[in-house]
Amino acid sequence: MSDERPTSTPSTYQRPASSGPRPAGGPGQRPAGGPGGNGGPRKRRPFQRRKVCRFCAEKNLVIDYKEPRTLRFFITERGKIVPRRISGNCAAHQRHITEAIKRARNIALLPIAANHAVS
């Protein structure tokens, strides 16, 4: 009893401490211990991120839950919705996309998860 308590309390204390810097450090820059090492803070990502929202760039693209083909760009292979930081959508269009994907899932135009056992 007395032995367990001191061991359990540091572990609970460590968890928020260890998980805290990770999301803060992930999207930010990694100055020293990155994969490049000597690359320094200048090159953070291996590829150029597309910054322009696809739907803002092309006005005639319409988000419609009835068209699963356009929505397929914004789900992963497992059927998850691609986050905004990867897809590059603006906030408003990401909201529309999310709404459309959820509607399409409801009427079985898009999968909810990757492998459904088809009987």
Partner 1 sequence: MRKYETIFILQPELSEDDIKSVTAKAQDVISTYKGECFRMDDWGIRKLAYPIKKSARGRYYYLRFDGDSALIAELERRLRLDDKVLRYQSVNITDVPERAVPEKKVEAPEVAAEETAEEVAVSEETTGGEA
Q: Which residues bind partner 1 (CB under 8 A)?
A: 62, 65-66, 68, 103, 105-113, 116-119
Q: Distance from first CA to last CA of the chain, Å, rounded?
A: 52
Question: Closest separation between CB of residue 105 and partner 1, Å?
Answer: 7
Chain centre to alpha carbon of residue 106: 22
* DSSP 8-state code for residue 48: P
Residue corresponding to tokens 């068209």: 67
Across 8-41, b (16+ Cβ under 10 Å) vs e yields eeeeeeeeeeeeeeeeeeeeeeeeeeeeeeeeee
Smaller CB separation from partner 1, 5 or 69: 69
Q: How far apart are CA 41 and CA 46, in angstroms?
A: 12
Smaller CB separation from partner 1, 32 or 118: 118
Smaller CB separation from partner 1, 86 or 112: 112
Smaller CB separation from partner 1, 97 or 110: 110
